Chains A and B, each alone.
Chain A
Amino acid sequence: EPEVTQTPSHQVTQMGQEVILRCVPISNHLYFYWYRQILGQKVEFLVSFYNNEISEKSEIFDDQFSVERPDGSNFTLKIRSTKLEDSAMYFCASSEPAEETQYFGPGTRLLVL
């Protein structure tokens, strides 16, 4: 069964460093998303992406964040200068056109020291 994959599974970085989280969505999906879950909190929407542009972003998704689909398979989330409060589990998701179901990857646990 097709699935969303994410790399790395864990990332430890120093505050102020840039990180890139990678995702390979399900191959025939056209809509891509990033969510995050801070420990003990809800899963929160960050951004949605379609047709090579951002469709919607939350207030969390400030200028330090960016997304890109550099080729036909990868979807990346970049945090330019990480802060301690960026420590969270980051989930990538994808969905088919006009379908409500979003399929999630296993997540990347980011720890900012």
Chain B
Amino acid sequence: DQQVKQNSPSLSVQEGRISILNCDYTNSMFDYFLWYKKYPAEGPTFLISISSIKDKNEDGRFTVFLNKSAKHLSLHIVPSQPGDSAVYFCAARVMYSGNTGKLIFGQGTTLQVKP
């Protein structure tokens, strides 16, 4: 079951530069895509989301881009800071009746931002 895939297990960037994390999906029924950040021994922390009807959403240093034809999304962090070092998960929502849904997660990408 590889509905959501993050092909890069790790990424290392210099402080102040751009970090680009990528995610691919296979299911056209996803209605929202979300990015979560996770530190060791903590739960996933919500960062930013995007509706399947949009192609870009921005929140401060974080921007998510959605390319529906390619079934691809990316998270851009500009400028990257050492505190951004964490595991980043891409997740996609599948909706059910009654407004409940479940999140399908990618494997995660470990970002290291070097000072």
Contacts and interface: CB of A to CB of B under 8 A. Distances in A.
Interface of A: 4, 6, 31, 33, 35, 42-45, 48, 50-51, 55-56, 58, 91, 97-98, 100-107
Contacts of A58: 102
Interface string B15-58: 00000000000000001101010000111111001010000000
Interface of B: 31-32, 34, 36, 41-46, 49, 51, 89, 91, 93, 96, 98-108
Contact of A45 (B36, B98, B104): B104
B43 A48 contact: no
A8 to B, nearest CB: 13
B89 A50 contact: no
B100 A55 contact: yes
Contact of A55 (B42, B51, B96): B96
26 contacts: A4-B43, A33-B103, A35-B103, A42-B105, A43-B44, A43-B89, A43-B105, A45-B104, A48-B96, A48-B101, A48-B102, A50-B98, A50-B99, A50-B100, A51-B98, A58-B102, A100-B31, A100-B32, A100-B51, A100-B93, A101-B49, A103-B46, A104-B43, A104-B46, A105-B43, A107-B41
A-B residue pairs, 3 tightest by C-beta? A104-B43, A55-B100, A100-B32
Contacts of B32: 100
Contacts of B49: 100-101
Contact of A98 (B46, B93, B99): B99
A104 B106 contact: no
A6 B31 CA distance: 28
Contacts of A4: 43
B102 A45 contact: yes
